[in-house]
Chains A and B, each alone.
Chain A
């Protein structure tokens, strides 16, 4: 059982990786990295400091981090049970539901935002009732930002967790059942810990997607500094008049997200 006896990757004399794989891999990498290089090259480094301390940058950053985190929490809260139902409970139309879950992935986010307005807006199907009954409205509020991000990010969590659930060994759940565990106890004490890496990976994807969310957010929640203006919105508007500022904002967003993702990845997904 000790790792010493086991053959490690390094033990085998490595063959030369085939160029048919390496060449497209390098092209792919370059394609992903070069736009980043573009941002770095064009960044107004000399004025970076003064631009950063402008109030709106930090405000937008704070709002972005807060709303992306809350959206991720909502995604986990509702997405994990949804994934469980899709993976474990057979019901008619499951295929259709599974396809519907991925709708936010293919829907242009702006359309998603409009759709949210039609449902949760002040005159929306549900939103109208919420407004009448409780005086609750989402558009133009931070809560609206969180909702828009949740809508767009949730599929990432559901797909990731459903995959993990399908890959998990069902027999552990059987073992738990013979020990007297109810389905809820099984889910809580056996299933969830077993698929924790999948949940973590999904949550990370969710968070990253929510952080970069633009279209649904600006359409559903609008844009107001300190309340609904997240970093991507600030970047977009800065691009209108001051492309240099937009680059700075993008770099900040990028740096923060890379830092957070790298830290979380090591901790949760752990590649040991």
Chain B
């Protein structure tokens, strides 16, 4: 169950290589149809869903199916043999676990970046104007847990800002941080700029320069032995291309 049979791997690799060579980014491709399965970090939900629609429009008969979730969970599923064609992670570390297991076809490429902002409820009860305010006693700050990428990034950014924060909670993911801020349980939290933007107007994002030190790279790769290797290559090309770039920037991502 854990590892694919080598023969099958070899058989599957052939069309991947072919698709890699004939990478024109065009919309001609194999006329047949098929279903492309994309595993992507939860923060990509809106952008990738839109890109998927566009992909389906330019590939009649093709369906794009998404599995959004925590990058680490997705990585685990892929190394356990889940049938994915493309994997887009929210951190290089999680992509590395996939690549190290030999489940990434080719070298993963960073396609976008995200940075942290301070999210505050719309009425901003804690009067948070800058990152140093987060250290104020009594202010309820929530951060992601160390174990998830946004938590690691938060630690890095706060270290860079030389601010010592005593959070009341280390949440399991960015959305949980956002929920606590949106409901006003927390006075402030560190979230990705894209998340803050998606949660507007209930949540306001406060930018801080030190977040540049903890920019999160998003790598994407085709999965080794992808059932729809040709489509996978084309989807990656779409994400890396100008259309992908435009959609990502629109959502608050930065170009790599």
List the interface of chain A (C-beta within 8 A of B). 114, 117-118, 121-123, 139-140, 218-219, 221-225, 228, 233, 236-243
Least Cβ distance of A29 to chain B in Å?
A: 22
* Interface stretch of the complex, out of B23-31, B127-135, B172-180, B226-234: B172-180
Known pairs A114-B179, A219-B176; A123 contacts B185 (CB<8 A): yes
Interface string of B139-154 (1 = CB under 8 A from A): 0101001011000000
Contact B179 A219 (CB under 8 A): yes
Indicate whether B37 reaches chain A with its CB closer than 8 angstroms.
Answer: no
Question: What are the 3 A-B residue pairs with the smallest beta carbon separation, nearest first?
Answer: A222-B169, A140-B168, A240-B147
List the interface of chain B (C-beta within 8 A of A). 70, 72, 76, 140, 142, 145, 147-148, 167-172, 176, 179-180, 183-185
Contact B148 A240 (CB under 8 A): yes
Contact A218 B170 (CB under 8 A): no
Known pairs A222-B169, A223-B171, A223-B172; A240 contacts B72 (CB<8 A): yes
Cα of A225 to Cα of B179 in the assembled complex, Å: 20
Known pairs A237-B145, A241-B72, A243-B76; A118 contacts B183 (CB<8 A): yes
Identify the closest chain B residue to A128 (Cβ).
Answer: B184
Contacts of A122 in B (CB 8 A): 184-185
Contacts of A139 in B (CB 8 A): 168-169, 180, 185
Identify the closest chain A residue to B180 (Cβ).
Answer: A222
Cα of A238 to Cα of B147 in the assembled complex, Å: 7
Least Cβ distance of A123 to chain B in Å?
A: 4
Contact B179 A224 (CB under 8 A): no
Identify the closest chain B residue to A121 (Cβ).
Answer: B185
Contacts of B70 in A (CB 8 A): 240
Contact A237 B147 (CB under 8 A): yes
Contact B145 A240 (CB under 8 A): yes
Contact B147 A241 (CB under 8 A): yes
Contacts of A221 in B (CB 8 A): 169
Contacts of A238 in B (CB 8 A): 147
Cα of A219 to Cα of B176 in the assembled complex, Å: 7
Identify the closest chain A residue to B72 (Cβ).
Answer: A240
Cα of A183 to Cα of B180 in the assembled complex, Å: 46
